């Protein structure tokens, strides 16, 4: 908002609404999270769509006006990703992906990538010449 990037803000709002719709299919198991997400969404869209935000706020059963509600505060501990998804290639062709902890050792990443079922089919019976690991990005297994 501060940088007046309204297109980016609208795109993020669309992503948020899509995530809430997906959560709706999970049923009552995530009802509390859905209500909290909708409540935060109503507060965040207030500068763009004040009338719609007030209508949503009222529909959520919230007291007073959304414009008088406090701005949501992010929990910085939840903003840090502990895991990373890495593409796995065999001879430069993508064969799958793995999700591993960011702190995982290079040798463990190599073992995890090599054990991936999609990869095993392509390296079975061949000699692994080299395994290239670009941390947080990609694993390339070179076979001959």
Which of 47, 44, 50, 53 lies closest to 15 in space, CA to CA?
A: 44
User: Residue holding tokens 């290639």?
Assistant: 89
**Half-sphere exposure of 132 toward its Cβ, with a 13 Å CA cutoff?**
11
- Give burial (CB, 10 Å; 0-12/13-18/19+) of 86: buried
Contact (Cβ atoms closer than 8 angstroms) between residue 85 and residue 102: no
The predicted pLDDT at position 6 comes to: 84
The predicted pLDDT at position 100 comes to: 96
CA distance 38 to 57: 9
Q: What residue segments make up the domains of the chain, in order of their start? A: 6-76, 83-143
Contact (Cβ atoms closer than 8 angstroms) between residue 73 and residue 63: no
Run means of pLDDT, 10 residues per run, the chain, 144 residues: 78 92 83 91 92 95 92 86 94 96 95 95 94 96 96
The predicted pLDDT at position 1 comes to: 58
CATH superfamily entry for domain 6-76: Isoleucyl-tRNA Synthetase; Domain 1 (1.10.730.10)
CATH of 83-143, one of 3.10.20.590, 3.30.70.270, 3.40.190.10, 3.20.20.80: 3.10.20.590
């Amino acid at each position: 908002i501060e940088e007046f990037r309204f297109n980016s803000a609208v795109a993020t709002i669309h992503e948020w609404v899509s995530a809430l719709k997906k959560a709706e299919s999970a049923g009552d198991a995530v009802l509390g999270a859905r209500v909290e997400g909708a409540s935060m969404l109503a507060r965040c869209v207030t500068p763009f769509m004040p009338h719609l935000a007030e209508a949503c706020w009222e529909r959520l059963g919230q007291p007073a006006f959304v414009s008088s509600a406090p701005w949501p505060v992010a929990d910085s501990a939840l903003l840090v990703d502990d895991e990373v998804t890495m593409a796995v290639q065999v001879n430069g062709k993508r064969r799958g992906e793995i999700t591993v902890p960011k702190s995982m050792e290079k040798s463990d990443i190599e073992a995890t990538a090599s054990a991936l079922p999609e990869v095993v089919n392509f390296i079975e019976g061949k000699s692994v010449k080299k395994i290239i690991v670009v941390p947080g990005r990609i694993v390339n297994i070179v076979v001959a």
